[in-house]
Each structure stands twice: as structure tokens, then as C-alpha cells.
Structure 1
Amino acid sequence: SALQRGYELVGATHKSDKYLLVGLAQIDAVPAMKGRRLYLPQQDSIYTYMARGMLNEAGLSFQDLRSVQYEKFPQAGLTALTLGSTDATVVREDDWAEWAAAHPGTARVLATSQPVPGGFSVVVKKDLPADARNRLAQWFGTTPASTGLPPVTLRPEANEYRRVAELGLFTPTSLPGVSRITAREAQTLLAQGATLVDTRTEKEFKAKRIRGAVFAAYVEKSLKDVAFNAAQDDFQALDKLPKLDKAQPVIFACNGAECWKSYKAAKVAAAKGFKSVYWLRGGLPEWDAMGLPTEGG
């Protein structure tokens, strides 16, 4: 998150890791985690972030689980599996390899994350003078053993940090029962007669919108979560749109990957019986970045 708010990367202390969601052998896939127990370290740990992301990919939320147990030690989740006090946990790939060899057949890998920066990462403010930034980078790269901090010598890819930052706030990358599309694909569908529904506020819609979009605000009061309660929200605007045929393709969009309105709108529309529902996750920002036509303002 800091890298998106005025900081630049110095580096990381360890190689990037992958995180695994592992469950008891009788659990065959992530969706089967519904109603099960999950062991995690502290709520703000990277393990918890990765668990949320891997569940979201399968359309699940922590709310879909019987319980989520937060403790101090990540590796103790594997012990909890052997004791039968949990059904699943999240571990680093290296830790799993050693444990699985010693406990064959006890558990299986349900999901694997993308690489995540390992150890500690160091960033510095971009507005510091260049010589100060350089001296800081040099010091962190050669820290003496007495500091207790390994040298910061590795530079993970920026997208590895971006993925982690998105897990705590951004919408999932997929929505079961709905087709996620790119801006180019949305443009093609519009040319073929699809309707694009802009779910943002009226002020945002009037200021700037995708050319040809129709306005139907999704009034959001529920949690930004895959298990959101649609009954807490107001999407009556969808039913008031003229000539919106449930058999025809309809696309939902809002303010990009961090905006949940179009995600929720697409899920609600599918539940209402719309047959061809599409979700432009990148929304207006992706459309605009591609130089595609807009109007308003």
C-alpha cells in the first residue's frame, strides 16, 4: 500500500514465498471449506490476507466458515490439523513440503497463492532528497549482524506487492456465474447490442462515463465481502431500467477493481434471472486507460 502512496522500494530480506491453503485429506476443493474450521495467525498477518484471497477466488468468505481461529504461531496450524482441532490452515510452501513428507496422507493442498515478497520489505519516501534515499538504501543493503535485520538485497516484482495490497480491499478476480471481461471485450459486446449498466453515483455518472452506458445506481450498505447481504443494499434502479431484457447480454461496471458496486450488482442480476451477465472489473478506469470513448463532464 505504501508503494501506491508516495514510497519507493529499497528491497526485501528474503526470497518470495507462495502460500498454501491446506485442508484435511477428505476436503477435496476450496468450495468444500464451507461450514468448516480454519486456523490462522493474527488477523493482520500475511497468512490471513492470503487465506481471504484464496477463499474469495472460490466465492467464499470467512463468514461462510463455521469458525476462524486466530492464534500466534503460523506453523501450529499444521499441528492443529494432526490433532483434529481444525479442518484447514495456511502455510508457506517451504514449511508444507517438510511437514507433508513427515505426515503423508494427512492433508492436501486446496489452493496456492501467487508469489509474495518474503521476510521484511523496506520502502522510503520518494520526496526525500536523492542522496538521503541512496544512503538509506546502502545502509539497509549492508546492515551489520548486530542490528538483527538481514541485509535488504532482493527486489521483488512490483506486482507481487500490488497483489497483497489488493487482497484486503479489492474485489475478487472472478465471480461464479458471471463472466469477467476486459474493456476491449466490453466494447465488442456493446457493438453487438449489449447494455452496459453504470452502478456508480449519479454525480459520478454525469461527470464522466463510458459512452453509451445507462445509469442504475447500486446503493451499497453491506460489507465489501463476497458474502455480502444484498438485502441491506438498494438496487431497485435495475428494475426501473426501460427495455432491459433479461435474455440479452448486460454488463456491469463502476470505479475499478477496488469498487464493489458492480461486483454486487452483477451477482444480484444473475440471481434475478438475467441470463448473460458480464462484469467489467476494471470499470471506467480500465476503459479510460485504453483510450476508449467516454462522455459527460
Structure 2
Amino acid sequence: MNRRALAAALVGLTLGVSGARADAPMTIAGATTVDAKAIIALMESKPDLVIIDNRRAEDYANGFIEGAVRVLDTDMTEAVLASHVKTKGTPVLFYCNGVKCGRAAKATEMAVRWGYTQVHYYALGMEEWRALGLPVAGP
């Protein structure tokens, strides 16, 4: 292999590594990370809990956590969130497909930045929910 080919190969490897998407964080400052068991407890103890599904329409159509409303992370503005979560003290839960997805992480960060105080983040998302055999609702 000549030097030019070797250099091109190294650039390709470098781009591949730097272009790789990192997993979403497991915790987000200002939010409480929850697992499936904690979500069930939240649903039972907080009747005003708002559950936001941050996945694409086709994912949502294949099943969602009971009571969840779909708001794609890229569509979420402060006004859109306020239309679903009536006060900044209302408990709200964000989830997506899990740590490989990352949409809920982005939405959670926005809610915290906008001053919501009871923000819950389900980092493991639908991947864990389905793996545990928990019920899903349909549209």
C-alpha cells in the first residue's frame, strides 16, 4: 500500500470514529432518571403525571406507554411543551427508544432548561419496557 492510500485509509478510519454517534447519557442534571419500576410507581402515585413519547410517528404507532402523548424532540418548543404540561411544577416523564435513540435526552434537557422542576427521564425507554414484557397501548 502506498503512502497516499494509507493516508486515505487513516482519514476514513478517523472520520468513522469521530462520526460515530454516542449513546445518550444515563443521567441529566436537573432530572430524575427512572427505570420501568419507578415509572409504574410514578403512574400510581402522581395522577397528574404527563408522559411524553419523543419517538417518530412510526415508532409510536407500534405501541407506546399508556397515556403517553407523542412530541418529537425536534418539534418540541417551550410553547408545545406548555400545551401538554400545564405548570412547570407538574411531573413530566420523557422517553424514547432507549440510549441508542437519544431523543428523550434532548427533550429532558430542554424541559430542565425551561425551568420544569419535576422532570423524569427514562433513559432505557421502550427497549427496556418491551424487554420486561410491560403493556403497550396503540393509537
User: Normalised by the shorter chain, which TM-score bucket?
Assistant: 0.7 to 0.9
- 8 Å CA contact 2:55, 2:72 repeated in 1: yes
Q: TM-score, normalised by structure 2?
A: 0.75
Provide Cα deviations, 1:87-112, integer angstroms capped at 9, x if missing partner: xxxxxxxxxxxxxxxxxxxxxxxxxx
Aligned-pair CA distance for 1:244: 3.0
Report the equivalent of 2:73. 218
Structure of greater Rg: 1
Instruction: Tell me how large the CA RMSD over aligned residues is.
Output: 2.2
SS in 1 for 2:112: helix
- 8 Å CA contact 1:254, 1:283 repeated in 2: yes
SS in 1 for 2:126: helix
1:274 aligns with 2:116: yes
Amino acid of the residue matched to residue 190 of structure 1?
Answer: M
Q: 1:171 aligns with which of 24, 37, 42?
A: 24
1:202 aligns with 2:57: yes
Report the equivalent of 1:189. 42
SS in 2 for 1:190: helix
Q: Kindly tell me: are residues 291 and 171 of structure 1, through their superposed partners in 2, closer, same or farther at Cα, counting changes over 3 Å?
A: same
- 8 Å CA contact 1:190, 1:196 repeated in 2: no
Report the equivalent of 2:4. none
Alpha-carbon distance in 2 for matches of 1:244, 1:170:
31
Give the structure, 1 or 2, with the largest relative contact order (CA under 8 Å, sep 6 or more). 2
Q: TM-score, normalised by structure 1?
A: 0.37
Report the equivalent of 1:235. 76
Report the equivalent of 2:5. none
Aligned-pair CA distance for 1:269: 0.4
Aligned-pair CA distance for 1:196: 1.3
State percent identity of aligned pairs: 28
Q: 2:104 aligns with which of 257, 262, 274?
A: 262
Q: Which has the higher helix share?
A: 2
Runs of at least 5 residues in structure 1 that lack an aligned partner in the other structure: 1-42, 50-166, 220-233
Alpha-carbon distance in 1 for matches of 2:76, 2:87:
17
Q: 1:247 aligns with which of 89, 99, 103?
A: 89
Aligned-pair CA distance for 1:296: 1.0
Aligned-pair CA distance for 1:168: 4.9
Alpha-carbon distance in 1 for matches of 2:98, 2:22:
12
- 8 Å CA contact 1:200, 1:255 repeated in 2: yes
Aligned-pair CA distance for 1:176: 1.3
Alpha-carbon distance in 2 for matches of 1:170, 1:277:
20
SS in 2 for 1:252: strand
How many residue pairs align between the two structures? Answer: 120
Q: 1:292 aligns with which of 120, 129, 134?
A: 134
Provide Cα deviations, 1:166-191, integer angstroms capped at 9, x if missing partner: x9521122211111111111111112
Q: Which has the higher strand share?
A: 1
Amino acid of the residue matched to residue 205 of structure 1?
Answer: Y
Provide Cα deviations, 1:41-61, integer angstroms capped at 9, x if missing partner: xx95xxx99xxxxxxxxxxxx
